[in-house]
Structure 1
């Protein structure tokens, strides 16, 4: 019965409208009859609107805003009464009297508009809400969006029917609030809160009479009444609204005069926040990692731009600033071809929180910028001798050796009796300098001779070393296809199946984030956790949204992890490969560290962990045709190369970690487990000391170079790593 009554009333008004070219400014073209409404009564009653998602740092500061429509829905009490009065005055003066459809108002608007009076719409605010809901929420295709505003009798009827239904089910204030949260105000601002912020930099609750009147007047045509592009038209329209407010008794004549005399007051360049991680500044890479992490966790990331979520992250803004300063200090953002990246992770038994990450490159899409996940995506050059950590951990787990065991250090040119190349020929392995013929595992990790670890791999086997790397944190090795094509074996599978001894020399792609998490695993007594950037995710109502994250697991027996921390503790001491860098940056804390450099000097890396923080930095050529890098002021590509992990990467990490830790108490490394000081292999025989290194060679314990470049099966040709 209600539908029939509405049909009769609407039809009567529309027939009358045939005598005029417009009804409320909407032409009724002949034949334009289609049921264009795509929303349902249930949708409208629920009233869920697309809302921007915010990504915050650990302090609650907004890093980035994700949206398709920049909208910040607010409750009724956060909308100024002046705004509600203004929109009712200009768009639907009988709003509180009619039942959703207003035949009297439609007829009055028809006559008034045809006589040149103040322009008023024939639709009620409730009908406009229905139409705008269809246009901005329900419609998903261009055809549906066109239909939502088409001059159709059927559409008008459907709008009226739904409006009357809503009026019976919702309060007037709820309808008005939803309308104001929905409509478009221009300059990318959807809804009154976004508009108040965009045009005036205030909350919707603080809108004054002239501000509210300006916004209310813009609803009819945001472009025509744009206060920046068309200030005179905007002011004229605003004053029409002010006059309507006066006529309806919402303001007195004195208030109206003062409001009409006020300047427009909008900001000179109204704009909504930048959309996405591009607007996050130095936190852009971290923001990008958050989205990648959520996607990998199975979170419906396609819902983020309209879901109104609040994503609180683990990013420490103070730490970010210090990491960014450190990477830029070593390699300026504009330095061609040379990238410097770093990631910092906090160890823990139940969580490895990502504290900060940065790159010297500005995050973005402009020339000289990068939107690739430089600090967390694997870079193709490799990390060099950092991977010797995995060989050491494997040998300790197999009880072959401990950190005090003397291991053999063959001279350069050593050929393994086990590992061959593709033609079945022995593979020569070289060192970058001269070493004692035997070193304790602890000293070997600090001085990093290649031959010692390739020989050690003969005892452990390559597959267990690869598996150890994955267990401790290099998870991408087991996920990334070796050929780059989906469905083909992973890098880890190929390394194991081909028995590539070069694995211990760090030839596979890796990332600073994963390397930092390896160190966090060791610093967490062998407990691996995913490097999480998430503190919490809540919906628009403040309710927690669960995110499926991998559970922490014991990747390495605690005694091995704790002892290996001490095994890595000499890198910053005399004879260690990063001693010079530690001294130059004033480092004064115990640290488990390791350096690495690839054979052709196209990349170099440093990893380090204290009980409080773990970090990794990599310097590499980020161009399409990588070249060797020379360490200088600043590092640069060159013909020969001399970058080492103990140079720019180590200086970056020591500086950043030192600044972040600041005046925190100096924490000792965990105590060793006596069971892992020695192993079942006998100590190697120690011959007389070798002669000093030649002047043009790095001294033992100085900087290092691995024996292989990315992806090769030949570990020879370099030096100590």
Structure 2
């Protein structure tokens, strides 16, 4: 058993100061005799600044990201550290570290006079520098290296330098620390800050990483192994150098016996035991969102980027020890993840199915789920991607005819058409492009099929999606109004990307790459047919804006942030905007209410037994390289997109599973993108009463200009 530790609480504090004075005199006089009298000035000039840094610099802690129910989904950190209190550390651990590192710890005043004098005399004679550091001094040194100067390699080098100036500086600060902090707090702080190999810092993290236990449960051999590693974490790494680690552990156990902290018979038993570390360890959690569960990876990455955009730094997120509670609904996320995986397997060659769910609202649009058949990761062979294909404008082929929502909204706002307005709808027609000159070819378009009436009302057009009618309407309304409506309703980041879904490159001579979409499509009527890169998340927010009575809010993934002190941390939020009148939004919802009843997704809805009142708009690109369903039901605004995402994009074909191919008549939004929506929402709405859609505003039923 471990012997009891006797604290020298009756030793007056001033003895430490007296000891320090003696050591400093001995240490400074020697180098003065050698012609280095400036040493004492160097020490005095630096101590005050360093003491202030120690007082104000906080240890890097792990940030925990959770879902809305508080379940952890990821950890973010620069140093894996789990801080503990003194009463959470086993006596075996304190006994081991004191025995091997500083056996006079409990009685000294921050420095060890004998050790410092011995080291100073030896160093001044010209030999190699010696030790003599106490645990308190080591605490100061490690705090400088691992906390204060962790981002400054030059400063860390100075913190480790074997110079008398550095040792004297540490000694003076150590005595100051000894006068202001209890021995228990100093020992706890030391055990929290030191490295245990790799990216493991502090005894709390080390106990978990090496033994899957907590510091209060460490036995003699476990504590001795960890205490032995502190001197040289890499050299005594039990996985890389098991024999050296075992020898070092046993040395610590012997020191515990010498220091009367452990009985000899118990020591022999402990020394005979194996290392006992975890197989295939150490067990360290992922330090990024790449370690999140399959239904949370894209969400976590979006939440992290959202906070960076809100003014947090990466270092703050990785070291702040925050608890970030996100808006992610685990039930929604898992249900939708199952639905997209059933539609397109995770490792399906060349086909991605991204799905986003947002809760509409007047004050916030909470993101409930961001999933895909792909998982957030780095192994393409397993169907993983490190691109956020849900949040980014990653569907480079576009969302097809779902963009007709923007043309319709702009037409309602400008009065060019109302829900009942008949739209010219020939089987095929050529249109003059905006800003065209005599050399500009016309833009010619055809309807997909011959069963469309001519004319067709805007209401019926939204359900059945004839191309000619909507390109003609877009030509009437004008591209500036349509593009502005797309931005207002939700395509904020999407329209800032170029026609390849990337940041515009001003060095390129090709407008497709040098201009943002908001500029590039000013003279292109193809916009309403959705052939440009788009973010699935932002398209779901378009639905959320309409379902919120025309109130746009940024897609918000954050419920709250709590600091390491338990206090709330504010997050800068972009203000919500009333981007269209409620009457317009309600009318457009009414126009979108027929898609699953008599429109392009009706057959899939019937096959799924779908009967809920909802809004929807499908989209299919010309070569069926991308299909989409954008809509919403109850409190769920959604976007489901299936698109080619491999190096050799091709036509997407329906089937079980959905796949790339040459099927002659490829997939449609209603046949491939809508089924996951029906699958997931049917489960989420089971047993709930239907929520009726708003009635259209008479002011938007007929054209006004």
TM-score band, normalised by the shorter chain? Answer: 0.7 to 0.9
Match of residue 87, structure 1, among 90, 97, 108: 97
Q: Aligned to 2:694, what secondary structure does the other structure show? A: coil
Do the aligned residues in 2 keep the contact of 1:419 with 1:426 (CA within 8 Å)?
Answer: no
Determine the C-alpha separation between the residues in 2 that align with 1:538 and 1:77. 25
Question: How many residues are matched?
Answer: 654
Note closer, same or farther for the CA distance 1:13–1:356 as it changes in structure 2 (3 Å cut).
Answer: farther
Contact kept, 8 Å, 2:101 with 2:135, in 1: the verdict is: yes
TM-superposed CA distance for 1:108, in Å, is: 8.6
Aligned equivalent of 2:430 = 415
Write out per-residue CA displacement over residues 332-385 of structure 1, whole angstroms, 9 at most, x where no aligned residue. 222222211111111111111111111222322223321011111112211111
Residues 361 and 548 in structure 2, CA contact (< 8 A), matched pair in contact too: yes
Q: Which of 371, 376, 390 is equivalent to 1:375?
A: 390
The residue that corresponds to 2:516 in the other structure is 490
Q: Matches of 1:297 and 1:663 in 2, distance apart?
A: 39
| 1:348 corresponding residue in structure 2 | 361
Given candidates 253, 271, 293, the residue that maps to 1:281 is 293
Stretch deviating more after TM superposition (449-458 or 2-11): 2-11
2:560 equivalent among 523, 536, 549:
536
Distance 1:680 1:192 in 2: 73
SS of the aligned residue for 2:595 comes to coil
Number of the residue aligned with 2:457: 440
User: Which one is further off, 71-80 or 416-425?
Assistant: 416-425
Cα separation, 2, equivalents of 1:202 and 1:547? 35
Q: After the TM superposition, which residues 215-614 of structure 1 pair with which residues of structure 2 at under 5 Å, given as runs?
A: 215-231=226-242, 233-246=244-257, 248=259, 250=261, 259=270, 264-268=275-279, 269-282=281-294, 283-368=296-381, 369-378=384-393, 379-403=395-419, 405-416=420-431, 419=434, 423-434=439-450, 435-481=452-498, 484-485=504-505, 489-496=515-522, 498=523, 500-573=524-597, 575-614=598-637
Q: What are the ranges of 5 or more consecutive residues in structure 2 without an aligned counterpart?
A: 1-16, 122-129, 508-513
Distance (Å, rounded) in 2 between the aligned partners of 1:42 and 1:176? 20
Aligned in 2, Cα 1:458/1:367: closer, same or farther, shift over 3 Å?
closer
Cα deviation code 1:470-494 (max 9, x no counterpart): 1110112442356822596531133
1:646 corresponding residue in structure 2: 670
Aligned-pair CA distance for 1:247: 5.0
The alignment partner of 1:520 has SS state of: helix
Q: Which runs of 5+ in 1 are unaligned?
A: 19-30, 112-119, 682-721
**Displacement after TM superposition at 1:121 (Å):** 6.1
Q: Distance in 1 between matches of 2:28 and 2:609?
A: 84
CA distance in 2, matches of 1:84, 1:630: 65
Cα 1:661–1:248 change in 2 (3 A) is farther
Question: SS of 1:65's equivalent?
Answer: strand
Q: State how far apart, in whole Å, the 1-side matches of 2:105 and 2:456 are.
A: 88
Aligned alpha-carbon RMSD (Å): 3.1
SS at match of 2:704: coil
- Cα contact 1:409–1:449 (8 A) shared by 2: no
Secondary structure of the structure 2 residue equivalent to 1:55 = strand
- 1:127 touches 1:160 (CA, 8 Å); kept in 2? yes
Q: Which residue of 1 aligns with 2:3?
A: none
Question: What does residue 71 of structure 2 align with?
Answer: 61
Distance (Å, rounded) in 2 between the aligned partners of 1:474 and 1:87: 58
**Alpha-carbon deviations, 1:609-633, whole Å to 9, x = none?**
1131011011111134533322233
Within the candidate set 168, 172, 175, 2:186 is matched to 175
Q: In 2, are the aligned partners of 1:73 and 1:193 still within 8 Å (CA)?
A: yes
Q: Deviations over 1:238-286 (max 9, x none)?
A: 3444454455555566765665565543322222112212111312211
Counterpart CA distance in 1 for 2:211 and 2:459 is: 63
Q: CA deviation at 1:585?
A: 2.7
Render the CA deviation track for 1:525-568: whole Å, top value 9, x for unaligned: 11111001111122221222222121111112112212221211
Equivalent residue for 1:618, pick from 641, 644, 647? 641
Return the alpha-carbon distance in structure 1 between the equivalents of residues 258 and 31 of structure 2: 29
Aligned match of 1:685: none
Cross-structure match for 1:149: 160
Distance 1:95 1:257 in 2: 25
Specify the SS of the correspondent of 1:540: coil
In structure 1, C-alpha distance between the alignment counterparts of 2:197 and 2:80, rounded to whole Å: 11
Residue number among 174, 192, 208 corresponding to 1:197 in the alignment? 208
* Contact map agreement 2:653 2:659 (CA 8 A) in 1: yes
User: Which residue, 197, 204, 208 being the options, matches 2:219?
Assistant: 208
Contact 1:525 1:561 in 2 (8 A): yes
Give the match's secondary structure for 1:84. Answer: helix
Change (3 A) 1:74 1:14: farther
Contact 2:57–2:148 at 8 Å: present in 1 too? Answer: no
Give the 3 Å change call, closer, same or farther, for CA 459–656 of structure 1 in structure 2. same
In structure 2, what is the Cα distance between the partners aligned to 1:136 and 1:660?
48
C-alpha separation between the residues in 2 aligned to 1:650 and 1:37?
A: 67
Distance 1:90 1:426 in 2: 85
- More divergent stretch after superposition (502-511 vs 486-495): 486-495
Q: State the Cα distance separating 1:458 from its structure 2 match.
A: 3.4
Distance 2:405 2:189 in 1: 59
Q: Provide the TM-score with structure 2 as the length reference.
A: 0.85
Task: Classify 1:284/1:14 alpha carbon distance in 2 versus 1 (closer, same or farther; 3 Å).
Answer: farther
Cα distance in 1 for partners of 2:24, 2:692 equals: 82
Q: Does the CA-based 8 Å contact 1:187-1:272 persist in structure 2?
A: no
Matched, 1:631 2:654: yes
Q: Does the 8 Å CA contact 1:600/1:641 hold for their aligned counterparts?
A: no
Tell me how far 1:202 sits from its aligned partner.
2.2
After superposition, residues 664-683 of structure 1 pair within 5 angstroms as 664-680=688-704
Structure with more helix by fraction: 2
CA distance in 1: counterparts of 2:209 and 2:494, whole angstroms? 46
The question of whether the paired residues in 1 share the 8 Å contact of 2:54 and 2:148 is answered with no
Q: How does 1:46-125 map to 2 (within 5 A)?
A: 46=56, 48-105=58-115, 122-125=132-135
1:541 aligned counterpart, secondary structure: coil
Single out whichever of 150-159 and 594-603 deviates more from structure 2.
150-159
Work out the CA distance in 2 between the residues paired with 1:14 and 1:196.
43
Q: Aligned partners of 1:537, 1:44: CA distance in 2, in Å? A: 26
Indicate how the Cα distance of structure 1 residues 37 and 628 shifts in structure 2: closer, same or farther if over 3 A, else same.
Answer: farther
Alignment check: 8 A CA contact 1:406 1:440 kept: yes
Quick one: structure 1 residues 623 and 229, their matched pair in 2 at CA, closer, same or farther if it must change by over 3 Å? closer
